[in-house]
Amino acid sequence: MKPFLRLAGIAGIAGLMLAAPAARAEKADRDKPVNIEADRVSVDDVKKVQTFDGNVQLVKGTLIIRAERIVVTQDDDGYQHGVATGTASVLPHFRQKREGQDEYIEGEGERIDHDAKTEKTEFFNRAWVKSGLDEVRGQFISYDGRSETYVVTSGPNGTRAKPGSGERVRAVIQPKNKDTGAAGTTPSPSAPARPTAATPPALKGAQNISAPRQETEQ
């Protein structure tokens, strides 16, 4: 479905939970390797846990997660689950191309959990997600790339905010019209085509997560 956020009358409504059609994530990303760059990496082969610290960038096809720290665990089937955290001033950032569109889904939160097996991404605290000109904010956002649905709540971890807390779900939804552009204006027939969003290049020299290299302590 074209719009990622198809909502009505929600801005400023406290404790509102949403479950609406969302944009589909790029299908080709499922079969792409995971590449990571960081200042430091530590590995626990027994528990299948890799911890990446310092200006971390994770790339899987068009999916990019940037954070101060990313902890990745791997299950027996080889699927990875990543938990990204940042600093008080710099939140971890998520970005992924929409399926069949020259647009990207992007979001931030104090913590981002991404599960490669379920294709679900969750944003915790000061959460924000945007697609095109539409965006939504809350204390918790769960985006399911497989079922094309998302949930936004005014309270933490999928709960409703307590009365009087002042926390609300807020959204900005731009008008959509078949005969108009994304911002509701009719493009000129003679106007040049808009440039498409370029897919971020793969990281050079990044290691595959399935075989991370243990950093040698100095």
Read off the pLDDT of residues 80-113 as tens digits, 9 standing for 90 and up. 999 999 999 999 999 998 777 788 889 999 999 9
What residues pair up with 107 in beta bridges, in sequence order?
94, 129
Mean pLDDT in residue range 35-57: 95
**Of 89, 126, 83, 80, residue with least CA distance to 107:** 126
Cα distance between residue 118 and residue 188, in whole Å: 42
Band (67; pLDDT cuts 50, 70, 90) = very high
**Of 3, 12, 21, residue with least CA distance to 169:** 12
The range of the structural domain enclosing residue 126 comes to 13-179
Domain presence at residue 5: no
The CB density around residue 46, as the number of other CB atoms within 10 Å, is 6
| Total domains present in the chain | 1
Cα distance between residue 63 and residue 203, in whole Å: 12
Are 1 and 21 in contact by the 8 Å Cβ rule? The answer is yes
> Concatenated DSSP letters for 65-78?
EEEEEEEEEE-TTS
Domain presence at residue 69: yes
**Strand, helix or coil at 29?**
helix
Domain presence at residue 104: yes
Domain presence at residue 217: no
DSSP at 185 = -
Domain presence at residue 70: yes
Cα distance between residue 41 and residue 38, in whole Å: 7
| Residues with Cβ within 8 Å of residue 146, at least 6 apart in sequence | 118, 119, 120
Domain presence at residue 17: yes
Q: In this predicted structure, what is the pLDDT of residue 104? A: 87
Q: In this predicted structure, what is the pLDDT of residue 178? A: 54
Cα distance between residue 71 and residue 48, in whole Å: 11
Read off the pLDDT of residues 143-202 as tens digits, 9 standing for 90 and up. 887 776 789 999 998 899 989 888 999 989 888 775 544 444 444 444 444 444 444 433
| Residues with Cβ within 8 Å of residue 153, at least 6 apart in sequence | 15, 16, 17, 138, 139, 140, 159, 160, 161, 169
- Burial grade of 203 (CB within 10 A; 0-12, 13-18, 19 or more): middle
Q: In this predicted structure, what is the pLDDT of residue 174? A: 86
CATH code of the domain covering residue 129: 2.60.450.10
